[in-house]
Amino acid sequence: MKKILIVVDTSRGPGREFLGGIEDYIGTGADWEVSVPPPKYLNDQTFNLNAWCYLQEPDGLIVFGYYRLNKLLKLDARKVVMHHAVEQQDDTAVLTADSVAIAKMAAGYLKNLGHTRFAYCSCVDLPWSQTRKEIFEEAVALFGGAFDHYHFQLTSRDDINQVRRDLANWISSLPKPIALFVCNDDIAVFVLEACKLNAVKVPDEVAVLGVDNDELVCRLSTPSLSSIELDFRQCGFKASQRLSELIEGKPDRQKLMIAPVRVVTRESTDSLAVEDEAVREALVFIRKNYQKKIAVSDVVEYVSMSRNALENKFQACLKKTIAEELSRLRIDMIKDKLLNLNISINNIGSSLEFTSPEHFSRYFKKAVGLTPNQFRKKYRSLD
């Protein structure tokens, strides 16, 4: 039996999801004896996490959510770690969020809300944050959007009130409406508070999008925060698999990527930044009715405009067709049902009035690259 140390910060939602993936792996019959350090609230000031881990003499170690562990990373054991300064080695696998995919998802989502002006905000000098900025900026440039960015420092030496005022003044200076992509949920909540200082309306003037979808943080913010959900649970499972392979002498130089799954829309982006009245009217109708069996002809009839004229307006404002917008919303809805409802895939297809299970599967696979069953197996958290 292998002795495994699990050092995961479970004070936040992502850590709890990641730990759930480790539990899923252990449930498959892993020959592991697991140890975890005492929770932070039970530790007195003399507790030394590094020393405690060394005393365990483990065969393997998984670290997630802890960043000041330079001594621990020298431990003579196979390791899977999420740490920006760690290099991939034969005895160490590195976890990292797929910041390229995250930034592309953010850009596409905010563009689909009708925005033409975009900004990125960060307060951390780390490679993953810089990658998100660069890829987001590149994506915005591809569809001709305007771009701005802001980076602020927030350390124990900084006056937090002054930092917030400076951020608020930058947000006020931006042309409106604008879509603001923020490096993670914690900083996004700080951004929301800065907006309140100068009475900037969210989402009507500034739509704010975070990353990680930490449910507690996102739901308790005011307004509630839209965020990109990452597949932390699946990554916890894969991290456990990789650690077992390392212990068995099967090194793999590929990083473990934490993939984005979807954008969870809440109040902070719940608006349409479209100036053309006909397009806005069409989008409102589509959002109210896309769960029904409506077609492009129904949208055209509702707006009382020729199909060619409305399609031209859609292309000018959104760089897409009416059918593409209908499909996007339906695919997002299907993803949500597959991930969060305990109903069969056939019932999901029937509720959306697809003619057959095969038709439903083809429709979803064409858009996502996976069948509904493959998508559910890949991304759904296991209870």
Mean pLDDT of all residues in 9-35: 91
Q: In the chain, what percentage of residues exceed pLDDT 70?
A: 96
Taking only the tens place, the pLDDT of each residue in 131-169 is 999 999 999 999 889 999 999 988 778 889 999 999 999
Q: In the chain, what percentage of residues exceed pLDDT 90?
A: 51
Whole-number Å distance between alpha carbons of 35 and 33: 7
DSSP 169-199: HHHHHS-SSEEEEESSHHHHHHHHHHHHHTT
In this prediction, residue 70 carries a pLDDT of 74
CA-nearest of 79, 83, 85, 38 to 62 is 79
Whole-number Å distance between alpha carbons of 57 and 85: 23
Please say if the pLDDT value at position 383 is more than 50.
no
In this prediction, residue 225 carries a pLDDT of 97
Rg (CA), the chain: 23
Taking only the tens place, the pLDDT of each residue in 343-356 is 888 888 888 778 88
In this prediction, residue 208 carries a pLDDT of 98
In this prediction, residue 43 carries a pLDDT of 57
Of the listed ranges 62-66, 297-301, 325-329, 338-342, the least confidently predicted one is: 338-342
Taking only the tens place, the pLDDT of each residue in 183-216 is 999 999 999 999 999 999 999 899 999 999 999 9
Of the listed ranges 14-18, 109-113, 132-136, 252-256, the least confidently predicted one is: 252-256
Enumerate residues 6+ apart whose C-beta is below 8 A from 165: 194, 197
In this prediction, residue 382 carries a pLDDT of 42
pLDDT class for 126, splitting at 50, 70, 90?
confident
Q: Which of 24-33, 108-117, 190-199, 314-323 has the highest mean pLDDT?
A: 190-199
CA-nearest of 257, 259, 256 to 93 is 256
The average confidence (pLDDT) of the chain is 89
Of the listed ranges 286-290, 300-304, 353-357, the least confidently predicted one is: 353-357
CATH of 277-379, one of 1.10.10.60, 3.40.50.300, 2.60.120.1270, 3.30.70.3040: 1.10.10.60
CA-nearest of 257, 236, 230 to 94 is 257
Q: Which of 76-90, 299-313, 317-331 has the highest mean pLDDT?
A: 299-313
Q: Where do the structural domains in the chain lie, given as residue ranges?
A: 2-98+232-261, 99-229+263-269, 277-379
Mean pLDDT of all residues in 5-32: 91
180 backbone dihedrals φ, ψ, rounded to 5°? -115, 110
C-alpha distances out from residue 209 to 81, 254, 352, 360, Å: 27, 29, 29, 31
CATH of 2-98+232-261, one of 3.40.50.2300, 3.40.50.720, 3.40.50.20, 2.40.37.10: 3.40.50.2300
Please say if the pLDDT value at position 376 is more than 90.
no
Whole-number Å distance between alpha carbons of 361 and 290: 18
In this prediction, residue 42 carries a pLDDT of 60
Taking only the tens place, the pLDDT of each residue in 233-261 is 999 999 999 999 999 998 787 888 998 98
Q: Residue 53 has which token pair? A: 């881990």
**Rounded to a whole number, what is the distance in angstroms from the first to the last CA of the chain?**
26
295 backbone dihedrals φ, ψ, rounded to 5°? -120, 175
Please say if the pLDDT value at position 66 is more than 80.
no
- Identical fold at 2-98+232-261 and 277-379? no
Q: Residue 345 has which token pair? A: 């895939």
In this prediction, residue 174 carries a pLDDT of 96
Query: Regarding the domain with residue range 99-229+263-269, which homologous superfamily does it belong to in the CATH classification?
Result: Response regulator (3.40.50.2300)
In this prediction, residue 72 carries a pLDDT of 78
pLDDT class for 105, splitting at 50, 70, 90?
very high
Q: Residue 191 has which token pair? A: 């951004």
